[in-house]
Structure 1
């Protein structure tokens, strides 16, 4: 087996966004009391600045502040859209692909009777276990997978997943970091593990030149602080139109039942919209297998 990748820094940024928004943005629809607990003390500092509305004067700290605030703006509508899709069809099994620092197994009461599996690369999962040690409630079943060598179906089966029972799959914040071929291969694998009535909730990015330029700018701004950008080692590798994603899912027996842009969700939630282009190109698609 090849040497494992290091723990994901993107996962920390996403968790910071959830922690910054908890109880402050769309409080009647969004809450994540696990997020702050999953962060280390130095990672909480920028979160507290955003929560308190304290804009730092120092350049490096200002970049951290703006990054967390922007993440919170995107994460809230994305999380709400996915959570709503999960609640609308509570299946006996839930698999979170590329789980990162996801807190759903602990924070969603609807999952009390559901067997939750978290799939991620080994280093990220080891990091997650350490961070989650203090959380109360039933933890998920951790499924470490080296995607370059391990078969998803085999790893899940070894952890107790049953392919003959309906499964809800959450694929959040992962697709852009995979090539087109890797996305297609993953859909093939999870379809083979999906009994009738299974549901796939997938988050992806649509093609946009402005988004690419924005990520380049973000890398330059981070470089100006003397640090490397998280996107230097975790670049985007694929984008999808809604039609292309629907066609891929249809080839594997899934029918799209809902497709929404994060911008539309944010408007419905009346959440802050400072980065409308970024929100407009993020989507959440729900597809069911009959």
Structure 2
């Protein structure tokens, strides 16, 4: 992924969590830090969506709809991920492609957990600026990794990650942009640093033509209106069936203990919306190492 575009995607995800906070999955989802991490121009779109003020002009309307859709997806998958993190209670948490994730700042359950945030050095520099003087609720170790040059395992070891202790891994919103081979290689690297009792949480897309062409249409419409989609230069490189991903995990010593459709998660969590095609194409798998 191009770093500039990766940062724009991180902002979109942060905006989506800000839109959902206090409005979607109330009692199950909360991210009051998200809005604080956005610049004023980024906050304005969040305010519009939260107020339900749909713009009349074409370009702003497309941006509005993209953020509305993303908010529903993010609320659902955040609820599922946070529940899985709380349930396992491992002493270490690794967030791969952390972006502007605020779990270490908003989840009191992580107070005794060492959190490792893995991301590109440039993305982490931006996050440091946006976080400012905010104090995390637990120990956070930033692990700069350029995946085109660096080895994940070596970077984590240098940051103090203990491969002999259980780890919960969050791999959220990254798999679609990797090839099948890159996904398998990353899972193998994770497995090498996962002691018994570790847990791997992955969000991933399933083969879905409605979602595929819907996203392409959104990119085209944004381009026609003079806007640029945050994901325009991040083509989807892989999709997975639950059976195929479970097999890859099993080969690396993980057992898929839960694999749910995000639409089901959204319904159970009380995420009200009408983006069933987008929610229905995404899944979240929880895999454990015994």
Give the TM-score band, short-chain normalised: over 0.9
Match runs of 1:1-290 below 5 Å: 5-6=3-4, 7-138=6-137, 140-290=140-290
Distance in 2 separating the partners of 1:135 and 1:218? 36
Q: CA deviation digits over 1:153-209, x for unaligned, max 9?
A: 100011110101100000000000111111011001110000110000110000111
SS at structure 1 position matched to 2:95:
strand
SS at structure 1 position matched to 2:274:
coil
Distance in 2 separating the partners of 1:8 and 1:234? 12
Q: CA deviation at 1:231?
A: 2.3
Distance in 2 separating the partners of 1:131 and 1:225? 29
The TM-score, its normalising length taken from structure 2, stands at 0.96
Distance in 2 separating the partners of 1:267 and 1:94? 27
Q: CA deviation at 1:235?
A: 1.5
Q: CA deviation digits over 1:193-248, x for unaligned, max 9?
A: 00110000110000111111011111111112212222221111111100111000
- RMSD of aligned C-alpha atoms? 1.3
Indicate if the aligned counterparts of 1:116 and 1:141 stay in contact, CA closer than 8 A: yes
The TM-score, its normalising length taken from structure 1, stands at 0.96
Q: Give the gaps of 5 or more residues in structure 2.
A: none
Which deviates further from its counterpart, 134-143 or 278-287? 134-143
